[in-house]
Amino acid sequence: MSFRIRVFVMMALVALGATGATVALTWWQARDQVSEAASASQETTELIRGELREQALRNGTWEGVDRTLARLRGMTGQRLRLVDPYGAVVADTDHMDRRLARPPGSVAVFVDPLPEAVIPDRGDARRATLTAIDTYRTETLLAACLHRNGHELVASPGPDGVPRHSPAGGTGAGAVEACRPGRPAPWQLADDLAQVRQCGVADSGCLRAAFRRQITTGDVAPAPLLLTIGAGNEPVRTLDAGPVLLITVVVAALTTGGALLISRRVLRPIGTLTSAARRLGGGDRDGRVPDAGRDELGELARAFNQMADSVRAAQDDQRRLIADVAHELRNPLANVRGYLEALQDGVVEPSAELFASLHEEVILNQRIVGDLQELALAEAGALIYHRVPTDLAELIETARTAHRAAADAAGVRLAVDADGPVIADADPDRIRQVVGNLVGNALRATPAGGSITLAARADGDDAVLRVTDTGTGIAAGHLPFVFDRLWRADPSRGRGTGGSGLGLAIVRQIVRDHGGDVSAESTEGAGATFEIRLPPVTPRRSPSRAVAPARDRRARTARRPG
């Protein structure tokens, strides 16, 4: 689990515990000290609203609702107030008690006395809706008339959702006939028909809305009223401060304990990392920290261990480099020294062949030193590059001309494969140096009668340059190391195959400085292919790296195909 999530969960538990304790304390205090008039429960609210709605449905009018309101006030002990949609007070228990009306309470609900029509699934739903509208008007006007004449009414829901009214006890048949209303006006029936026809035959939702809309036209249906429960200025008793202070102390203790646990969990591994970093800075390259955690601290520990591994690997590389350089220079220097001492002692007679051999050894040492210097400059980002749009096809043709004499002397055919211009954003001098190093390596690996092919082509946005030979090839186990400094496939590190072991390392660094990539493919005994990918042409820009002129001249003078 993530450390951040664990911290969140821990703090959430602390907060929930504190909140739960606070809620429990508030409930305990409120149960004994807060007045019942402060708020109305949901059950009480639903009871009051249900009673009022039932009366309006039964009587078809809000007349006489003040008596029902007084009865409900006596049952619940709440101040009750009804307001119509226009803001006029219909009934208020404060007025009934002959007292100044108080501000309304916070509990406010609508009392809607309108029934919901039941639309049949089969038959003519429009005709059923029109019938329900007409029935509601008739029954509501009848109920209001009977109520005004002092009759107690009984309402029973009909199959269409409209209540049917009759006097209680089944009496008053004459009163019913006297109160029965006449037929609606023709314009009213026409409007009902127009509203219902706007709905689809099976659109029950639209038909219910049309029913509700039409029964509210005119003064037939009682209007929905806003019911408020309670009074806004009723005094609330304050809570006892003692228990509140006690729970505050408990919450503070829990928070402090949680903070201590978190700080201990965080600071302990950080302290371990700090000690390991100091040991690493003091020269201990083998120190590591536990990294078994799966959170951010575990990731930090793994990053530290990776950094320590990199530092140790860099130190090992430096030691190997020094040992390799010493090994590369030891043999030629020993040869030069031996011959010079032999000449000095008169053991060997001076000759042109001897001086030529000594000169060759000196040139070889100079070449190794020059390649090391250039590679160091490249890895330090100190080489200068003048990148311009460069035609790789023309460049490899120039390279073939430059190396044709060496290829002819080795009995190797040097060919070019390019269909047309291949433009890359590159420094032509440096890329020629790269091609020269690759061709030099290919010549040393290719026996007489073999061939070397220089190819250039476009691959999407990239410019691709390939050097392919038919030489001895590279073993699969050696391919990952061919671009390493001073690495050679010959285990004895002899000079029978030639080369300083730095040419391919210089190739890789120059290509990477161009934003490209170089790779090698080979099958042992079947030749090798080195592929260079360079980015496309971009707008002209200033040289990407700069060095002092004298230093750059030394670097260019030291360049030799490796």
Q: What gap in Å lies between CA 523 and CA 521, rounded to an integer?
A: 7
> Alpha-carbon distance 244 to 401, whole Å?
95
Averaged over 308-336, what is the pLDDT? 73
Q: What is the pTM of this model?
A: 0.42
CA dihedral 423, 425, 427, 429 (to 10 degrees): -10
Asked whether residue 28 is domain-assigned, the answer is no
Please identify which residue in the block is written with the tokens 């440096």.
430
Q: Does the pLDDT value for residue 555 go beyond 60? A: no
| Pair of tokens at residue 247 | 């729970």
**Predicted confidence band at 448 (pLDDT cuts at 50, 70, 90)?**
very high
Q: What pLDDT does residue 436 have?
A: 87
Q: pLDDT category, 108, cuts 50, 70, 90? A: confident
Q: Which pLDDT belongs to residue 37?
A: 42
Counting residues of the chain whose pLDDT is more than 70, the rounded percentage is 79
* 129 within domain boundaries: yes
Span 191-210, mean pLDDT?
A: 85
């806004």: which residue's tokens?
232
User: What's the whole-number average pLDDT of the chain?
Assistant: 78
Q: What is the mean pLDDT of residues 140-165?
A: 85
Q: Is residue 64 part of a domain?
A: yes
**Model confidence at 465: pLDDT above 90:** yes
529 in any annotated domain: yes
Last residue of a domain, one of 204, 229, 254: 229
In a domain, 171, yes or no: yes
What is the mean predicted confidence (pLDDT) over 25-30?
67
The torsion defined by the Cα of 193, 196, 202 and 208, in degrees rounded to 10, comes to -130
Q: Edge-to-edge strands of the sheet including 80-83?
A: 89-92, 80-83, 225-231, 104-111
Residue 451: closest CA among 505, 395, 410, 492: 410
Lowest mean pLDDT of 199-213, 272-286, 314-328, 448-462, name the range: 314-328
∠ CA 319-322-326, nearest 5°, is 140
The residue segments making up the domain with residue 52 are 40-229
**Contact by Cβ (8 Å): 391, 423:** yes
Looking at residue 412, which CATH number applies to its domain?
Answer: 3.30.565.10
pLDDT at 4: 55
pLDDT value of residue 557: 35
Would residue 348 count as lying in a domain? no
Of 189 and 171, more confident: 189
| Residue 320: inside a domain | no
Boundary of a domain, candidates 209, 229, 249 = 229
Side-chain-facing half-sphere of 186: CA atoms under 13 Å: 0
Q: How confident is the model at residue 348 (pLDDT cuts 50, 70, 90)?
A: confident
pLDDT at residue 155 greater than cutoff 80: yes
The pLDDT score that the predictor gives to residue 7 is 62
Q: Is the pLDDT of residue 152 over 60?
A: yes
Q: Which of 211, 229, 247 is the last residue of a domain?
A: 229
**Any alpha helices (H) in 34-150, and if so which ranges?**
42-59, 65-76, 93-96, 125-148
Whether 45 has a pLDDT exceeding 70, the answer reads yes
In a domain, 253, yes or no: no
Please give the DSSP secondary-structure letter assigned to residue 483: T
Number of domains within the chain: 2
